[in-house]
Structure 1
Amino acid sequence: MTVPYKTLAAVAFASLAGQASAAEKITIMVGGMEKQIYLPAKLAEQLGYLKETGLDIELLSEPAGVNAETEMLSGAAQCVVGFYDHTIDLQARGKMVESVVQFSQAPGEVILVSKAASAAIKSPADFKGKTLGVTGLGSSTNFLTQYLAARAGVKYSEFTTLPVGAGSTFIAAMGQGKIDAGMTTEPTIARLTSTNAARVLVDLRSIKSTVAALGGPYPAASLYMQTSWVNSHKAEVQKIATAFVKTLRYINTHSAKEIAEKLPPEYYAGNKQLYIDALDSGKQMFTPDGVMPPEGPATVLKVLATFDKAVEGKTINLSGTYTTEFVKAAR
């Protein structure tokens, strides 16, 4: 039987199109790659799990989660490693985004008070008239800072938030007196507290302390994507989700030292042991399997509805802000 030329051409074209689709670059934008809260992103790459997917995946870093979110919405990235709370804020603004893998069940952040302002700031009630550092305006550090202030009776108009990033830029801002206090993550926390340049005021690194400060568990670091992209790329999403579930399992079953050994030396910020110690005390924040804590979304919505004008008074469909479909299939 002779196959018509047009049919052969169609088959060849379909084959090439399939190859092109498989080779399509997928960009994962991370809201600060060196932050320990986003450790699974780089670790998945270092362990070879992202390569095992067979996909062309590129990891890029932005200094704040809000910048990473903007890159996704503009089409420059397909996925974001950032805080789950952005999915709720975005739904309130008419954009459907969902967490596909939930990395953590606590923010992994603290509010630090500088040595110079230590006597004046004893609790969030003392934020009035002060300048507080956040990674970026519209970032999760900004969200949580606003909530802690509001819960203590301080209005947003009564203090100033200044975007100072994380790491060396945060440390410089505090050392130069540009901020009195600020919310940041490891390893920045350890770098400042180990030299007594700052002290911890509010600790959101463990589930217990998070519940005490926020009134419930607060799922934070996650892998999120636009719902339309998830629905049109289910095979790719499953491969990526499986890679991150394997990474979370690795974190759960290995010591902080073993994990640190897999990372590039620059992640230690000049002090490897300090990095290991911080990770050892904080890695409990990570979920063992990527599944969303059942009570978590309601806590996040409650927090955002307190001060976020976009969310306030809106009906939010929490089931549309995350999915467990892919992590459960990965298990």
Structure 2
Amino acid sequence: MKVLQSALALVAALGIAATAVPAVAQQAEKPKLTLGVGGKPLLYYLPLTIAERKGFFKDEGLDVSINDFGGGAKSLQALIGGSVDVVTGAYEHTIRMQAKGQDIVSVIELGRFPGIVLVAKKDSNIKSLKDLKGAKIGVTAPGSSTNFFVNFLLAKEGLKPEDVAFVGVGGGASAVAQMKRGGLDAMSNLDPVITKLESDGDVIVLADSRTEQGNDKIFGGTNPAAVLYMKTDFVTQNPVTTQKLVNAFYKALAWLKTATPEDVAAVVPEEYLLGDKALYVAAVKNSLPIYSRTGMIPESGMKNALNMLVEFDPELKAAKVDLAKTFDPRFVKKASEGGK
């Protein structure tokens, strides 16, 4: 009798397990998709590279093709135009697009600090933000987060974006080269570009958002940076795919919590090191604090991002932005519970 009861219990358990399998191993509606990014080698986007190189997308059954554009504004344009499905880019774009009537939503925070640094050429007359009037300033791409960062800093000094000239320089070795050539007075960029220029003695730092102290000074607190965002329609039509994407990025953030700079250098492509592994390790050390600890965007961070944009964007001053529509927390919550 006990044997029979045990057998029945086993059958029941197997039956439960069998019915649970489809829920656990749900198929993505769109297992093959294209992701846009603006400057993938930048440490701003390190969680993307980690998810790719550590196989976290493949673990979720996804085949993700990555299109690397010259800056975040270009990857946003690709999303609006339909040539990419999702974007790893700046959170600010979700706010600006809502004001323009475009439903774009972020689903996981990758960076809690922007990590953007504004530097000036060391031998120039620019010693403070007030001296930027008339300057030629390099940014990853016009309309990108590096551009917004400068616009905000200018506004705090009573200056306008039109008071300077912006030049798109990308985010890798080309950005370093353009600063060294002397065609720029200042640059708003990210690591490893900034650490390279600092270590070579080419620049002085005017504003640094790589640390908590720096963000408090500039924004008054955290300011969400890189996120995974997409059209709201994509989320509605592809909830399983969206969850799997978030799971992969959540794993990348978890890996980064305990990774050393040397661990990171061992994972990224060789060309990301800019020919100097020790320098890259130093850049990672400078930037590790910027990554999100939870994947969740706090309400205070959303407000800081909106306040930054309102400072220099007249269109946003008049717009009614519902910040709750810029971030959907459901997928991060599930990822934190195992992603099922």
Q: Do the structures match in fold with TM over 0.5?
A: yes
The equivalent residue for 2:175 is 170
The equivalent residue for 1:268 is 273
Contact 1:30 1:62 (8 Å CA) reproduced: yes
Q: Say which is worse superposed, 70-79 or 165-174, in terms of deviation.
A: 165-174
The equivalent residue for 2:41 is 34
Contact 1:22 1:55 (8 Å CA) reproduced: no
Matches within 5 A, 1:148-227: 148-227=153-232
Shift of 1:139: 0.8
Correspondence for 1:125 among 101, 126, 130: 130
* TM-aligned CA distance change 1:151 to 1:26, over 3 Å: same
The equivalent residue for 2:59 is 52
Contact 2:29 2:238 (8 Å CA) reproduced: no
Contact 2:30 2:241 (8 Å CA) reproduced: no
1:140 aligns with 2:155: no
Q: Which digits, 9 at most, give the CA deviation of each residue in 1:242-285, with x for residues without a partner?
A: 11101100000121111221111111110111111111121111
Shift of 1:90: 0.7
Matches within 5 A, 1:1-331: 22=29, 25-117=32-124, 120-331=125-336
Distance in 1, Cα, partners of 2:226 & 2:28: 29
Q: Say which is worse superposed, 166-175 or 294-303, in terms of deviation.
A: 166-175
Distance in 2, Cα, partners of 1:23 & 1:190: 39
Q: Which digits, 9 at most, give the CA deviation of each residue in 1:13-53, with x for residues without a partner?
A: xxxxxxx9856521111111100110011110111110011
Distance in 1, Cα, partners of 2:31 & 2:200: 47
Q: TM-score, length-normalised on structure 1?
A: 0.90
Shift of 1:215: 2.5
Residue identity in the other structure for 2:333: K
Contact 1:166 1:188 (8 Å CA) reproduced: yes
- Note the aligned Cα RMSD (angstroms): 1.6
Distance in 2, Cα, partners of 1:281 & 1:131: 26
Residue identity in the other structure for 2:232: T
SS at match of 2:143: coil
Residue identity in the other structure for 1:35: L
Contact 1:116 1:180 (8 Å CA) reproduced: no
Residue identity in the other structure for 2:253: L
The equivalent residue for 1:3 is none
Q: Say which is worse superposed, 165-174 or 318-327, in terms of deviation.
A: 165-174
Contact 1:105 1:287 (8 Å CA) reproduced: yes
Q: Say which is worse superposed, 24-33 or 216-225, in terms of deviation.
A: 24-33
SS at match of 1:323: coil
Contact 1:105 1:207 (8 Å CA) reproduced: no
Among all aligned residue pairs of Structure 1 and Structure 2, give the percentage whose two residues are the same amino acid: 34
Shift of 1:210: 1.1
Q: Say which is worse superposed, 304-313 or 222-231, in terms of deviation.
A: 304-313
Residue identity in the other structure for 2:114: P
Q: Unaligned 5+ residue runs, structure 1?
A: 1-19
Shift of 1:99: 1.0
SS at match of 1:310: helix
Distance in 2, Cα, partners of 1:79 & 1:302: 26
Distance in 2, Cα, partners of 1:24 & 1:257: 32
Shift of 1:186: 0.5
Contact 1:105 1:293 (8 Å CA) reproduced: no
Residue identity in the other structure for 2:115: G
SS at match of 1:295: helix
Residue identity in the other structure for 1:284: P
